Amino acid sequence: MATDLHGPVSARSHDTAVRVEGLTRSFDGRAVVDGLDLTLRAGEFTALLGRSGCGKSTLLRVLAGLDRDITGTVLVPKRRAVAFQAPRLMPWKRVWRNVLLGLPDKPERAVAERALEEVGLGERAGAWPKTLSGGEAQRASLARALVREPDLLLLDEPFGALDALTRIKAQQLVAELWQRRGCAVLLVTHDVDEALLLADRALVMRDGGIAYETPVDLDRPRTVGSPEFAALRSRLLTELGVEEDAAPAEAA
Ligand X SMILES: Nc1ncnc2c1ncn2[C@@H]1O[C@H](COP(=O)(O)OP(=O)(O)OP(=O)(O)O)[C@@H](O)[C@H]1O
Site residues for ligand X per CB under 6 A: 27, 32, 50, 52-58
- Order of all β-strands in the sheet with 2-4: 2-4, 71-77, 16-27, 30-41
Nearer to ligand X, 15 or 28 (CB): 28
Partner residues linked to 202 by β-bridges: 47, 214
Q: Write down the least CB distance from residue 46 to ligand X, Å.
A: 15
Q: Write down the least CB distance from residue 52 to ligand X, Å.
A: 3
Nearer to ligand X, 117 or 207 (CB): 207
**DSSP characters over 117-155:** HHTT-GGGTTS-GGGS-HHHHHHHHHHHHHTT--SEEEE
Q: Write down the least CB distance from residue 29 to ligand X, Å.
A: 11
Nearer to ligand X, 134 or 160 (CB): 160
Q: Write down the least CB distance from residue 56 to ligand X, Å.
A: 4
Nearer to ligand X, 73 or 85 (CB): 85
| 25 contact partners, CB below 8 Å, separation of at least 6 | 31, 32, 33, 55, 58, 59, 62, 67, 69, 70
